Structure 1
Amino acid sequence: MATIRFFAAAAESAAADAAAIDAATIGDLRAQLTSLYGDEFERILGRCSLLVNGTRATDDTVPLSGSDTVDVLPPFAGG
């Protein structure tokens, strides 16, 4: 199972900092997260960057393995 780490608004919406999910691809992961955490999380997820082991996942076909760590990063603001 991949380790999923949530940050900022994603963590608030999921009411968790992390989860373990068995998903074959980023697209599968998105579907499972939406199913688990609901419509508001899906809205936030649509604006997030997903990093797999520190590398941005650019599309839903990016494969995942059980040893991967996926960071769910909402847009940050600041100055």
Structure 2
Amino acid sequence: MIPSATVRGSVTVRFFAGAAEAAGEDQTLAEAGTVADLRAALADRYGAELERVLTQCSMMSGGGRLEEGAVIEPGATVDVLPPFAGG
């Protein structure tokens, strides 16, 4: 059986805290198939500072954390959340 190709589509990306500062905006649209694809696309678009911040960020969608290989459904909203200090 041949595995199906990952479907790529537009997703809404919402940046929070240091990720929003590094991107220079709070929200954007991006093409992605997996979380790893999305991280790469965002780093290409916004440069080294966001790429550095993304290494520390969690990606969340639908109330749950997304792992690197997770497929992101077209039309989804993905929140980019840097670690937060405090309690």
Shared fold (TM-score, shorter chain, > 0.5): yes
Confirm or deny that 1:65 pairs with 2:82. Answer: no
> Secondary structure of the equivalent of 1:41?
helix
Deviation (angstroms), 1:53: 1.9
TM-score scaled by length of structure 2 = 0.84
Structure 2 residue aligned with 1:17: 26
TM superposition shift of 1:56: 0.1
Is 1:51 aligned to residue 63 of structure 2?
A: no
4+ aligned runs moved over 3 Å, structure 1? none
Q: How many residues align?
A: 78
Over the aligned positions, Cα root-mean-square deviation in angstroms equals 1.0
TM-score, normalised relative to structure 1: 0.92
1:75 corresponds in structure 2 to 83
Determine which structure has more spread, i.e. the larger CA radius of gyration.
2
Structure 1: distance between partners of 2:36 and 2:82: 17
Greater helix fraction, Structure 1 or Structure 2: 1
List alignment gaps of at least 5 residues for structure 1. Answer: none
